[in-house]
Structure 1
C-alpha cells in the first residue's frame, strides 16, 4: 500500500486528537485519598479518646473505692493543682526576684498591695490578689503565699525564685504552713489534710475526717495541732490514722520551743476570764511550766523566737495595750513581761532570738530587739510608703 507522508501525519494527528478528547481514568483520586485519610485519623483519635476515658474512669473508680474503704477518710478531696504554668494566665504573670540572699539582721520582706517588697525596696507585682500570710521556702527557693478568704475558699500559691506564681491548692477553708515551709495542712469540707512541699509541689498527702469541726492550728514537729469547734486541742500525726479522741482546752498557741514543747495560753484556775502562759507537754498538751504574771490579750497574736528564749505577744502592762516581751527562761519564776512596742496586728517574723518584726495596727513596720527592750528602749517604727486605706502589709516569715 502506497502511503504518503501527508497521510501518516493526518493519521497521527487524528490519533492524538482522539486521545485528548477522552479523559483517561486516574489510577488514584487525590480528593478521595485525602477524605479517606481524614476519616481514618478521626476514627483513630476517637478510639484513643475512648481508651483514655476508660482508663481514667477505672483509675478514679479504684481511687474512690480505696478512699471509701478506709475508715475516717473523706470522699471529697480538695482541688490540688500541680503546675498550671501552661495556661495563658500563668504566662502573663510577672516574674518574682531571683533567689534571694539571706537578709541582714532586722531586715524583712513584705507583701504590700499584692506585691513582694524586698529589704532593698524593690517591688515585684505578683498579680495574685490579697494575701493573708507569707512564708519563705527553705534554701532560698521562693515563697509560699496564703490568699485571703473568698466565697470559694483560700488559695495557696508557690512563688519560685525567678519564676511566676503557681497554684498549689485551691478551695480550702483553712491553710496552715510549717515554720520551715516544708509542710502544709488544710481543711476542706469535712476533711483534714496534710502534705509535704517538695520541688514546688504537694507530695505525700494524708487525710482524715475532720470530726467536730476540727481546724488545723500549727505544726508541732511531725504532728499537727488541731482545734475542735468546742475549743479542745489535740495532736494528729498525718498518715497514722484518724484524729484521736478527747482534747485539752487551750486558749491560744504561740509557737514551739526547739525541743518540741508548745507554748500557749491556758485558762487560769479559779479566776473567771483569767489566763496563764504555759509550756506544754508535747505528748498530751498538759501544762509542764506555768506563769501567770503577764496580762495576755485574747487575740492570739504572738510568736516564740527561733531560739525559744522569748515570746513577743499582745497584752497589757501599766494600763496600756501593746506588744509584750516575755522571757520564757524565767517563766517558772514569774517571767515578768516588758512593754516592747505597739500592738501586733498580724504575724511576727523572728530572726533567731536577736530581732523580731511585725506590722502594727496603723500599718507601720515595727522592729523589736530583746537586748534593747531589756535596756529600757522601745521598738523602732517605720512608716511604709504606698499603703492605702484598709490595706494591711504582711511580714514574710522566715526572713527577718
Structure 2
C-alpha cells in the first residue's frame, strides 16, 4: 500500500510505457546502426596492398644496405692503395666506380655443371651457347650462357670465374660466373682484355684509351685510363703495372702504372713476346735479333726499362707468343720449330746463355698453359686434346702425346684452367 494517497509503490501498477514504434523511427534506427558499422575499419584477412608495400620496403632496405656495404668496400680499397687507380691521368672526367644492382632476384640464373648433370639450356642458351672448361687433370666443367670463351680464371676468393670472350665484330666481353651459376656481364664491346694473375685487376682497350679497374665481387671499381696509340694492346700485368705493346707490328713494349701518369712510348725496341715472370721479378721474353726471322730468349728487368740482362739464342722460336714459365722459374714451355716441324719446346732457363738448347715436349700449344708443379705442365693442342708434359720424360727423349678429353666433341676447343 501507499502511505500517501495518489502515490504508488513498487508493489502497485504504475504508468505503463508505450512500446508502439512508428515505421519511420525504426527505419532511422536501422540506418544509424548500419552507418556505424560501415564507419568502423575492420582488418582484412589478406591485404595485397600492404604486402606489396612491405615487400617494397624490404627490397629498398636490402638494396640500400648492400649498396652501402659495397660502397664501404670501395672506400676501403681506394684508401688502402687502389686510389692510384682512380687518380687522374691527364684525361678529363672522374674515376669510374661501378656499383650494380645488388638484388639478383629479377635476373635469370644460368647454370654451371659437371659431367652427367648438365641441365637443360635456358632460353638464352641458344644465343650464347656453352663453354667447356678443362682442368689440368682432365676434368670437365660446362658453363652455360657464357660462350664462346677464350680464357678463364678463378675469381678472387675462388667462388666462380672470370671469363674472357673470344673476339667478335662487336668486340670482346668479360663475364663473371658465380659458384651458384649466376652469370653477369662486366664488359661488352671491349678491345683486348688481360687479367691479373690473381684476378684482382683487369685491363682493356676501349676506343682510344687503355683502362684498368679492380675486381671486387661482381663489380669493376676504381677505373683509371690513359690515351694510347691506335694499335696499342695490353699484354699482361707486371705487379701493379700493365705491360703494353704500342704497335703489334713492331718490336718494343712499355710499362704503364695507373694513376702515376700517361702511357709513355716504348721503353725498349727489341722485345717481341713475354712468357712469364721469375720469382725475382725478371720477365722471360723473346727479343728480336739482327738476323731476319730469328729471335732469342731473354730475361728482362722491368725496373730498368725492360733492359735484357741475360740472353740465349739457340732454339728456333715461334712468334705466336704462346709459352709459360714454371712457378719456380726453372722451365719454359714455348712453341718453336724442330727442323720443319712446329713443336712445343722445353727450355732450361738456368742454362740460358750462348749454348741454350731445347728439347721437344709435345705437339704445338694453343691457349693457356698450366704448370701443376715444378715438373708437370698441361696444355691443349690445336684439336682441343689435352697434353700433359712430364719434364723428366721430355728430357729423356719422350715427348708428351695428346689425349682426347672425355665428353668434349671432336672439333670443340675447350678452355684450359688451373683447377675447379
Question: Above 0.5 in TM-score?
Answer: yes
Shift, 1:343, TM fit: 0.7
* Alignment correspondent of 1:243: 263
* Alignment correspondent of 2:336: 315
For residues 245 and 29 of structure 1, do their structure 2 counterparts lie closer, same or farther at Cα, with a shift above 3 Å needed? farther
Structure 2, unpaired ranges of 5+: 1-14, 41-52, 54-86, 115-128
Q: 2:253 aligns to what SS in structure 1?
A: strand
Check whether the contact 2:113–2:141 (CA below 8 A) recurs between aligned residues: no
* Alignment correspondent of 1:135: 153
Check whether the contact 2:383–2:412 (CA below 8 A) recurs between aligned residues: no
For residues 296 and 399 of structure 1, do their structure 2 counterparts lie closer, same or farther at Cα, with a shift above 3 Å needed? same
Shift, 1:202, TM fit: 2.8
Residue from 382, 390, 395 that aligns with 1:369: 390
* Alignment correspondent of 2:212: 194
Q: 1:248 aligns to what SS in structure 2?
A: coil
* Alignment correspondent of 1:295: 316
Shift, 1:163, TM fit: 4.6
Q: Mapping of 1:246-285 within 5 angstroms? A: 246-249=266-269, 250-269=271-290, 271-283=291-303, 284-285=305-306
Q: Could you list the per-position Cα deviations for residues 309-359 of structure 1 after superposition, in whole angstroms to 9, with x for gaps in the alignment? A: 111111101332111111111111422011111011222111242211111
Check whether the contact 1:233–1:247 (CA below 8 A) recurs between aligned residues: yes
How far, CA to CA, are the matches of 2:25 and 2:100 in structure 1? 74
Q: 2:366 aligns to what SS in structure 1?
A: coil
* Alignment correspondent of 1:348: 369
Is 1:215 the counterpart of 2:213? The answer is no
Check whether the contact 1:96–1:162 (CA below 8 A) recurs between aligned residues: no
* Alignment correspondent of 1:115: 132
Residue from 337, 345, 350 that aligns with 2:358: 337
Q: 1:93 aligns to what SS in structure 2?
A: coil
Check whether the contact 2:161–2:177 (CA below 8 A) recurs between aligned residues: yes
Check whether the contact 1:310–1:325 (CA below 8 A) recurs between aligned residues: yes
Structure 1, unpaired ranges of 5+: 31-40, 42-68, 98-111
Q: 1:211 aligns to what SS in structure 2?
A: coil
Check whether the contact 2:326–2:332 (CA below 8 A) recurs between aligned residues: yes
* Alignment correspondent of 1:381: 402
* Alignment correspondent of 2:67: none
For residues 137 and 333 of structure 1, do their structure 2 counterparts lie closer, same or farther at Cα, with a shift above 3 Å needed? farther
Is 1:93 the counterpart of 2:119? The answer is no
Shift, 1:299, TM fit: 1.2
Shift, 1:96, TM fit: 5.8
- Taking structure 1 as the reference length, the TM-score comes to 0.74
Check whether the contact 2:110–2:181 (CA below 8 A) recurs between aligned residues: no
| Structure 1 range deviating more: 113-122 or 236-245 | 113-122
* Alignment correspondent of 1:394: 415
Check whether the contact 2:133–2:414 (CA below 8 A) recurs between aligned residues: no
Is 1:178 the counterpart of 2:196? The answer is yes
How far, CA to CA, are the matches of 2:333 and 2:202 in structure 1? 24
For residues 26 and 293 of structure 1, do their structure 2 counterparts lie closer, same or farther at Cα, with a shift above 3 Å needed? same
For residues 72 and 318 of structure 1, do their structure 2 counterparts lie closer, same or farther at Cα, with a shift above 3 Å needed? same
Shift, 1:156, TM fit: 1.6
Q: How many residues align?
A: 351
Shift, 1:298, TM fit: 1.7
Is 1:305 the counterpart of 2:326? The answer is yes
- Taking structure 2 as the reference length, the TM-score comes to 0.71
Q: Could you list the per-position Cα deviations for residues 31-88 of structure 1 after superposition, in whole angstroms to 9, with x for gaps in the alignment? A: xxxxxxxxxx9xxxxxxxxxxxxxxxxxxxxxxxxxxx95532669999674676164
Shift, 1:146, TM fit: 0.7
